[in-house]
Amino acid sequence: MGLLDKIGTKSPWILHFDTGSCNGCDLEIWALLTPKYDVERFGGINRANPKQADILLITGPVTMRCEDRLRNLYEQVPEPKLVVACGNCASTGAPFHNCYNVCQGVDKVIPVDVYVPGCAACPEALIDGFVRALSLWEDKARRRESE
């Protein structure tokens, strides 16, 4: 593993984007960033700047109007980047299934690495997803090195 990856996995910066969720998962993401659950233990800080972000926490079933904005944000994030789809609607579009204005999940628009289930996804599950994203990052870095 290179030096940058070694440092990076210790301080992953978060970009949170709401693509049309009911705010339930967004609340839990905010609970995640604050004292009780405190994801800063793993080095995660919310910096709402795509140019500095490593991990994208995406909530919501992606409305038609947010589709282009989400793609645009994803392209601005430098490699290595990881996408965590938070909640049922981000994973599959479930509660808003067959609504006329939604794309049925984040993976219809950009590639997703980790899916966190739950409506709304509870902070414990989100921490689990976050840590899994970090270990995926390490795997990716090792694979890149061996190639």
Partner 1 sequence: MKRPTTIPIGPQHPAFLEPLNIGLELEEERVVGATLNLGYNHRGMEYALALDYKKTQYLVERVCGICSNHHSAAYCQTMEDIYDIEVPVRAKVIRTIMMECQRITSHLLALGHTAETMGYENLFMQCFRERELAMRLVNEISGNRVHYSINVIGGIKRDMDAGMERHTANVMRELRPLLEDLRDVFARDNTLVKRMKDVGVLTNEQARDWCTVGPVARASGLPQDIREDGFAAYDMIDLKPVVRDEGDCYARTMVRMDECLHSIDLIEECLKLLDEGPVIMTVKGHPTGEGLSRVEAPRGELLYHVKAIGGLQLDRIKIRTPAFLNVPSVQAMLPGSRLADVPLITVSVDPCICCTDR
Point out which residues bind partner 1 (CB under 8 A): 17-28, 30-31, 34-36, 47-50, 60-61, 63, 65-66, 69, 73, 95-96, 98-102, 119-120, 122
Which residue, 9 or 116, has its beta carbon nearer to partner 1?
116
H helix count then E strand count, the chain: 5, 5
Q: Are 95 and 89 in contact (CB under 8 A)?
A: yes
Which residue, 21 or 91, has its beta carbon nearer to partner 1?
21
Cα separation, 122 vs 56, whole angstroms: 17
Q: Are 81 and 64 in contact (CB under 8 A)?
A: no
Which residue, 12 or 60, has its beta carbon nearer to partner 1?
60
Locus of tokens 């998962």:
25
CB of 62 to partner 1, least distance (A): 10
CB of 147 to partner 1, least distance (A): 34
